[in-house]
Chains A and B, each alone.
Chain A
Amino acid sequence: MKATTKERLAPWLAVIALLAIWEGTVRALNVPPFLFPGALATFEAMITFAGPISMHSWQTLWTTVVGFGLGVAVGLVLGFIIGSSRFMYRACYPLLVGFNAIPKVAFVPILVVWFGIGSVPAILTAFLICFFPIVVNVATGLATLEPELEDVLRVLGAKRLDVLLKVGLPRSLPYFFASLKVAITLAFVGTVVSETVASNQGIGYLMMSAGSQMRMPLVFAGLIVISAMAMVMYELFAVLEKRMTRWAHRGQDR
């Protein structure tokens, strides 16, 4: 087998190995399925409840994507504002760091009071949790400019906006796309957390209610579906990142 094919198969082998160990351990120790179902029982549940699972997954997916979209929009604007002036950078950075330190779950009760239970708190939690890395990355990319390059441009009469558009913005793109990968996974976390406490739809809700009825195979099925969705989205943005900012990955994939 060639080394490259081996490498390509490696992640799948790891998944299969993990599933085997999972199923093997549960069987060997004879753990009752209402505590910790094996891989097969989970897979069965996934097929039996395919209808409800896909309905709830869809709910989780679209709320996450909407929250993520909001996060990207707000993150870009805030990042641009903060990154484009030293003063704003100095002024806003501590605030942002402080805000980021708040566990976003703490916002869910507030959001429920304001918007009731349902999709809105899920969207907003996803948004709150995911916009921060985007702001930081865009701002950092914009704010870094070699003083000498600045001189080269300023002597030509370049205005602040020229420098931002010609240098800052293109330079911050790799940072931006890198942050999207992080942000989309965080957005899923936000949505699911919110769904477990403040919704009657979505994978988070499904897992919560199935758990309370001791239907553990279904809970685990939800877990796997959510991680699969997050993984696919992550890969999507990883590919997008590579496509959009080839120059930043020079030498790696040539």
Chain B
Amino acid sequence: MTATTTETPAATAAGSERAFVDFEGVSLAYDDSGNAIEDISLSIRDGEFVAIVGPSGCGKSTFMKLCTGLHGPTQGSVRVAGEPVTGPLKISGMAFQNANLLPWRTTLDNVLLPLEIVRPYRSQFRKRRAEFVGWARELLRTVGLEGYEDQFPWQLSGGMQQRASICRALIHQPKLLMLDEPFAALDAFTREELWCVLRDLWQAQRFTVVLVTHDLREAAFLADTVYVMSKRPGRIVERREIDLPRPRELETTYREPFTSLVLELRAQIGEIRGGAA
């Protein structure tokens, strides 16, 4: 106790609650067609798993760009890890609906690509290559791609490509993983398999995740907190904590209380759509 008593109880409380990602009144207009997203305030704790749902074109991808510093806000402020975001945040890794692997690189080399680019690894790449390859192999193993390291992306199924894409997003050990509808193009079985892959990765490494999705079951199964966005201009219209116990198993998604939770979310979104239309 003595070592930490310099902090007042209030500061301690604030400290544990201190936001890792902090949006304050953020709006963004790409051009003069008006705001794409409007007045978004939210904070994401370190290690929190956040899901964002909302209709197409409501600004979910825009939110991602603001979070990672790929785009600056027109109004308001974005802070990550206490610092205002001024440019691309290399502590983040991204994956999208389309795996976008490079067809001329093997799976392993695709996963290694970020290390050839991001500081400080890029300057050490030649010297530490063996070590980096070890990281990549380990990561591929944990997502179930052991033995596919030397295959080319076009030799992999869609689900396997997506696994590799997530490995590529994680290879530089980012603190922030941004997933933009990563499972949207997969069949239902593969999708649920990948939910579990992501769940286990997150459980083991505890990076902060922002997952954009259309799938309410996906959001509720994986996330700590679900945010619901309105139609354009996108605003946060609902924040929902999912306090289901962890670790969560797939079977629970077919049982109470999970099903009624999803139904409630669905009803809320129905209201938004009905109200806004």
Chain B contact-residue range equals: 20 to 34
A247: chain B residues at CB < 8 Å are 103-104, 152, 154
Q: Residue of B at shortest CB range from A158? A: B117
Given contact pairs A152-B168, A247-B152, A157 touches B118 in the complex (Cβ within 8 A): yes
Q: What CA separation (Å) do A153 and B113 show in the bound complex?
A: 9
Given contact pairs A156-B88, A157-B88, A167-B102, A250 touches B154 in the complex (Cβ within 8 A): yes
B116: chain A residues at CB < 8 Å are 166
Interface residue A232 (Cβ < 8 Å from any Cβ of B): no
A149: chain B residues at CB < 8 Å are 100
Contact B152 A250 (CB under 8 A): yes
Contact A166 B104 (CB under 8 A): no
Q: Give chain A nearest CB distance to B119 CB in angstroms.
A: 6
Which residues in window 54-83 of A have CB below 8 A to B?
none
Given contact pairs A166-B113, A247-B154, A155 touches B89 in the complex (Cβ within 8 A): yes
Q: Which single member of A148, A155, A170, A245 contacts B88 (CB below 8 Å)? A: A155
Q: Which listed segment binds A: B22-30, B65-73, B139-147, B263-271?
A: B65-73
Contact code string B84-105 (vs A, CB < 8 Å = 1, else 0):
0000111011111010101110
Contact A152 B100 (CB under 8 A): yes
Q: Which single member of A151, A152, A153, A170 contacts B65 (CB below 8 Å)? A: A151
B102: chain A residues at CB < 8 Å are 166-167, 170-171
Q: What CA separation (Å) do A59 and B252 show in the bound complex?
A: 79
Q: Give chain B nearest CB distance to A14 CB in angstroms.
A: 34
A158: chain B residues at CB < 8 Å are 117
Q: Residue of B at shortest CB range from A251? A: B154
Which residues in window 23-78 of B have CB below 8 A to A?
65, 68-70
Contact B117 A166 (CB under 8 A): yes
A162: chain B residues at CB < 8 Å are 117
Which residues in window 95-153 of B have CB below 8 A to A?
95-96, 98, 100, 102-104, 113-114, 116-119, 152
Q: Give chain B nearest CB distance to A251 CB in angstroms.
A: 7
Q: What CA separation (Å) do A153 and B116 show in the bound complex?
A: 10
Contact B94 A155 (CB under 8 A): yes
Contact A153 B117 (CB under 8 A): yes
Interface residue B169 (Cβ < 8 Å from any Cβ of A): yes
Given contact pairs A167-B102, A170-B104, A152 touches B169 in the complex (Cβ within 8 A): yes
Q: What CA separation (Å) do A158 and B90 show in the bound complex?
A: 10
Contact A146 B154 (CB under 8 A): no
Q: What CA separation (Å) do A248 and B153 show in the bound complex?
A: 12
Interface residue B199 (Cβ < 8 Å from any Cβ of A): no
Q: What CA separation (Å) do A154 and B92 show in the bound complex?
A: 11
Given contact pairs A151-B65, A151-B70, A156 touches B117 in the complex (Cβ within 8 A): yes
* 25 residue pairs bridging A and B, Cβ less than 8 Å apart: A148-B98, A148-B180, A149-B100, A151-B68, A151-B70, A151-B94, A152-B96, A152-B168, A154-B70, A155-B90, A156-B88, A156-B90, A156-B117, A156-B172, A157-B88, A157-B90, A157-B119, A166-B117, A170-B104, A247-B152, A247-B154, A250-B103, A250-B152, A250-B154, A251-B154
Binding site for A on B (CB under 8 A): 65, 68-70, 88-90, 92-96, 98, 100, 102-104, 113-114, 116-119, 152, 154, 168-169, 172, 180
